[in-house]
Amino acid sequence: MDLEGGDGVSDRKSIGEFEELVLLAVLRIGTGAYGVPILEEIRGRTGRHVLRPAVYVALSRLEAKGLLSARMEDASDGRGGRPRKLYRVEPAGLEELRASRTALLSMWDGLEAVLDEG
């Protein structure tokens, strides 16, 4: 049994859909991607009600898989003097996204008409 909650679609693919969203959010934000804006980015773009813990779990798993790297930024105002943990997408993460995009696009190829009908 896959305790890691993988989606079982592909052997090669090691991240779930939500992790992919998180990865994309980090990429979109660029420098200064940490918990709060990442959550806002996903909520704002997908309109989904995303639970905060889900984001943190995804971030820590992506970090453990080497798809994201993180560094602590110094204490800052408005956060009780606590540091931000800033994330950056690693080349492996980029590779993962690229593969996922290619796969999805090729699956969609020629199906645009179906969408228009709906």
Any contact of residue 45 with other proteins (CB under 8 A)? no
16 lies in the binding site for other proteins (CB under 8 A): no
Produce one character per residue of 43-67: b if its CB has 16 or more CB atoms within 10 Å, e if not. Answer: eeeeeeebeeeebeebbebbbebeb
Query: Closest distance between other proteins and the C-beta of residue 10, in Å?
Result: 23
Q: How far is the CB of 72 from other proteins (least distance, A)?
A: 7
Q: Does 30 bind other proteins (CB under 8 A)?
A: no
CB neighbours of 118 closer than 8 A, spacing ≥ 6? none
| CA gap 48, 42 in Å, rounded | 8
What minimum distance in Å lies between the beta carbon of 90 and other proteins? 18
Q: Which of 78, 91, 110, 118 binds other proteins (CB under 8 A)?
A: 78
Residues found near other proteins in the complex (CB under 8 A)? 3, 34-36, 51-54, 56-57, 60, 72, 76, 78-80, 82-85
